[in-house]
Amino acid sequence: MWRYLLPIVLFAILIGFFVAGLRRDKETLPSPLIGKPAPEFTLPRVEDPSKQISNAEFAGRPYVVNVWATWCVGCRQEHDALLEIARRGEVPLIGLNWKDDLALAQQWLAQLGDPYVASAFDQEGNVAIDWGVWGAPETFLVGADGTILYRHISPITLEIWEREFVPRIRQGRARE
């Protein structure tokens, strides 16, 4: 009478899914932009709003875009790691200051140090939408050919930098 076994079999499959479900990492939502050309933006600079910064200036070499804001607790956590990454100088860091207050942002960089080559002031949030940003901090790696290679959500650490970003940068360089 196989039909009496059906409930327990179905249940076992369900439990199997749940056991696997407990282990899965829900944080890493892969960006649909990976492998696609990075959207171009031109925005005022945080340091000096009368000047502009555009990521087109960095075409032809890899760079990193880091989404940050003064209201973001995780950004404060990752700031020291960013300073160290900037110090190592492998690739330029561009900041995307998201939905922030200009004066507070300038104060933040002045007080805590500025790891960025320049920070773009995205007050409207339109650039962030184009990049598919849904929280801060987020860090994008753009390759020399202008495509987005990787996105990391949540505060970046040196360990993550070395594990995920550096190999991809080196790989890109080897291909050139």
Give whichever of 11 and 73 is closer to other proteins, judged by the CB atom: 11
Q: Is 70 in the site for other proteins (CB under 8 A)?
A: no
* Whole-angstrom distance, CA of residue 156 vs CA of residue 148: 17
Interface with other proteins by CB under 8 A: which range of 9-17, 51-59, 144-152, 166-174? 9-17
**Contact criterion met (CB below 8 Å) for 81 and 157:** yes
Q: Is 12 in the site for other proteins (CB under 8 A)?
A: yes
Residues 20-39 that bind other proteins (CB under 8 A): 20-24, 26, 29-33
DSSP per residue over 11-66, as a string? HHHHHHHHHHHHHS--S----TTBTSBPPP-EEEBSS-TTSEEEGGGGTTS-EEEE
Per-residue DSSP letter, 116: -
Structural tokens at position 74: 């995780």
Q: Is 174 in the site for other proteins (CB under 8 A)?
A: no
Interface with other proteins by CB under 8 A: which range of 5-13, 52-60, 73-81, 109-117? 5-13
Bond preceding residue 44 cis, omega within 30 of 0: no
Q: Can you say whether residue 89 is alpha, beta or left, with left for phi > 0 and alpha for psi between -120 and 50 degrees?
A: left
Give whichever of 31 and 55 is closer to other proteins, judged by the CB atom: 31
First-last CA distance in the chain: 66
Q: Is 107 in the site for other proteins (CB under 8 A)?
A: no
Q: Is 103 in the site for other proteins (CB under 8 A)?
A: no
Q: Kindly state the number of chain residues that form the binding site for other proteins, as judged by CB under 8 A.
A: 34
Least Å distance, CB 31 to other proteins, is 7
Residues that bind other proteins (CB under 8 A): 1, 4-5, 7-8, 11-12, 15, 17-24, 26, 29-33, 99, 101, 124-126, 128-132, 134-135
